[in-house]
Chain A
Amino acid sequence: MAAPNLSHDPLEPLPLIEGTHTDQTINDSLLSHVLRGAGKGWWMLFGCALSMLGLLVIAISWTLYKGIGAWGNNIPVGWAFGIINFVWWIGIGHAGTLISAILLLFQQKWRTSINRFAEAMTLFAVICALLFPLLHTGRPWFAAYWLMPYPSVQRIWPQFKSPLTWDVFAVSTYFTISLLFWFLGLVPDLAALRESTKSKTKRFIYGLFAMGWRGSGRHWAEYKWAYLLLAGLSTPLVLSVHTIVSFDFATSVIPGWHTTIFPPYFVAGAVFSGFAMVMTWMIPARHFLGLKHVVTMKHLENMNKIMLVTGMLVGYGYLMEHFIAWYSGNPYEMGQFFLTRWHGPMRWIFRTMMFCNVVVPQMFWSKRLRTSIPVMWVAAILINIGMWCERFNIVVTSLHRDFLPSSWKDYSPTWVDLSLFIGTIGLFSTLFLLFLKFVPAVAVTEVKELRHELAEHDAVAGETHA
């Protein structure tokens, strides 16, 4: 258990890199987890992840064999786990882009140690997310003609006025751009790996992916621009993706969906849940991979502050939904928010959401709590749960009580739904563990650059003091 960092002078900023380092020691310490063999703990986690992945394979096969009748959703709850999990996973991905792109544009130096980690999370979360709408089409290979515009013999084009079609473009663009951004940032690190490894096979493989990078000044000149522009492009992209996801709901007339606050509220919720997921993985990873000197308490504290802010934005969203329901004077809207959500059959999910998303982050006002590792880890997990409950409320609770009581129907998921959900957690964990084993989890080149910047800064500060 880490002691709360209160002995520290609050006016002195906490260090971004702890200890004294050279480029060589940074290189060695950040690459060591890739270069050494997998430990027992890694294999145990990987085994768990693989067994959950097996469950995913079974659930997908059963869905494809039986059709989506194997899932629990049925009219009026036409959307359920498929869409809940899609929105949840996409949201988790957003922290990666926020850290890597938006914090880069704002020149937040602390992003450097966590961006690679969070970007990888984005990629894997989007892969998990994409599975759900694809499977929800029932027969994905027949769905292609209304998802992507290609000249088929039917001469039919996608419905370009539908947010669902916008979603296809938004999410596939998001995945592609995130992948390119991640790989571009990785190239100099792969070159560092190529030169650091002693194994011939590893040298060949990392050399292949490093594309023959030789740190040329001519390359760096263009590289810096390519990287910056990808960051600049990712910033509006990440905002647009969850905005478009929220349009799937907001453009309909269902009470609980028909709200103009959805786009900003979805984006805030996405960042909130994404940071919670980064914390969930970062806290154990920095311990086991030996990254404590670059992922310091300052990084964790900053992430907790962002969770506090985005948590309050989400709380404001909840408040506004209730206010507008009342202000509209529409009995269906009021019924949805004041009766169904708080007192309906799904009330426990709603109350869990309120507790996890609104109450839990408030403890980050306290310096003692926001610098305590066990507290922040438990809070991050609660927030993950809370954000899943939020999507459940939006999707299922809104649908199961709409306008006419005669069309009301309760919802419960089947074993296939649950297995698909658990299975995607397995898929995510499998991919993430492989990432931690084969790719540097921290952007080594950027940390070296940061070290030089900090050293220069210290030198200048030393001169002015003297």
Chain B
Amino acid sequence: MSAGHEDSGFVARRFVVAEFATPEALLAGTRKVREGGYKDVDTHTPIPIHGLEAALGLGRPKIPAIVLCGAIAGICIAYSMIYFCNVIDFPINIGNRPMHSPPANIPITFELAVLLAGGSSFFGFFTLAGLPKPYHPIFESEQFGRAAIDAFFLSVELPVGANADKALGDVRAAGATSAELVYESER
């Protein structure tokens, strides 16, 4: 496997993939690698690890705001739909009851708010995460499968022209038990 094919114009993305023995070692290692000036750092763990957001330097999660927007949209859509149907489009006078009866509108308004809020949580997450994504260069690593089972990995995407040997050394110095370089495959 080579780093680039001049003829097709394809430049393979390069990743350093390193394994750490414990979640604590991964946390400390992540901090160290980021302090070393590497930008595209990510961790790969079978379980969520407390404190990783801070170690990766992530900002506030975006999901709560998205879900709030979904809930508000659900409320507006449901209430205005019922209002439109009962008051504007087809008003029917039954026993002189009011066309617009707020208590009767509550259940459907609530249900639609939950539906759209829940839907935006689910689809919002997959959109933010960029999933589904069947291929990712990091899967080229033979060891990486264990990140879904019992191993704790760190990955660093190297910028074009960066020195791979130095990066491997830096990651090992941060406490990795093993480190390897993987290339994106051309397809």
Contacts and interface: CB of A to CB of B under 8 A. Distances in A.
Contacts of B61: 221-222, 224-225
Q: Which 3 A-B pairs have the closest CB atoms?
A: A23-B150, A217-B43, A211-B132
A27 interface: yes
Interface string B93-124: 00001000100110110111011011101101
Contacts of B45: 215, 217, 220
B128 A222 contact: yes
B21 interface: no
Contacts, number: 182
A181 to B, nearest CB: 7
Among the interface residues B46, B53, B104, which one has the most CB atoms of the partner chain A within 10 A? B46
Given A216-B129, A233-B114, 16 more contacts: A157-B89, A169-B108, A176-B115, A195-B145, A195-B149, A211-B131, A215-B153, A217-B45, A218-B58, A219-B131, A222-B63, A223-B125, A230-B118, A236-B110, A236-B114, A237-B118
28 contacts: A24-B149, A149-B81, A155-B89, A160-B108, A163-B107, A170-B111, A173-B112, A181-B118, A194-B145, A195-B146, A195-B147, A195-B148, A212-B131, A214-B144, A216-B44, A217-B30, A217-B45, A221-B56, A221-B61, A222-B61, A222-B62, A223-B48, A234-B118, A236-B110, A240-B107, A244-B107, A445-B47, A449-B47
B104 A160 contact: yes
A222 B56 CA distance: 13
A207 interface: yes
A229 interface: yes
A212 B139 CA distance: 10
Contacts of B42: 216-218
Given A222-B125, A237-B114, A22 B90 contact: no
Contacts of A244: 107
A183 B135 CA distance: 21
Interface string A301-319: 0000000000000000000
A180 B122 contact: yes
B135 A23 contact: no
Given A184-B125, A192-B149, A212-B131, A169 B112 contact: yes
B58 A221 contact: yes
Contact of A224 (B48, B101, B132): B48
A226 B149 contact: no
Contacts of A24: 149-150
Nearest to B74: A173
Contacts of A219: 129, 131
Given A211-B132, A226-B125, A233-B114, A180 B48 contact: no
B119 A176 contact: yes
Contacts of B63: 222, 225-226, 229
Contacts of B52: 217, 220-221
Among the interface residues B23, B104, B121, B133, which one has the most CB atoms of the partner chain A within 10 A? B121
Interface in A214-261: 214-226, 229-230, 233-234, 236-237, 240, 244, 247
Contact of A230 (B82, B121, B131, B153): B121
B129 A223 contact: yes
A212 B136 contact: yes
Contact of A214 (B44, B49, B125): B44
A244 B89 CA distance: 26
Interface residues on B, range: 35 or more
A23 to B, nearest CB: 3
Contacts of A195: 145-149
A66 interface: no
Contacts of A212: 131-136
A100 to B, nearest CB: 13
B10 interface: no
Given A191-B148, A217-B42, A157 B90 contact: yes
A352 B56 CA distance: 60
Nearest to B146: A195
A211 B149 contact: no
Nearest to A207: B134
A163 B107 CA distance: 9
Contact of A23 (B82, B108, B149): B149
B107 A177 contact: no
Contacts of A226: 63, 121-122, 124-125
B64 interface: yes
B122 A230 contact: yes
A310 B16 CA distance: 54
A212 B44 CA distance: 12
Interface in A426-466: 445, 448-449, 452
A238 B2 CA distance: 56
A247 B108 CA distance: 13
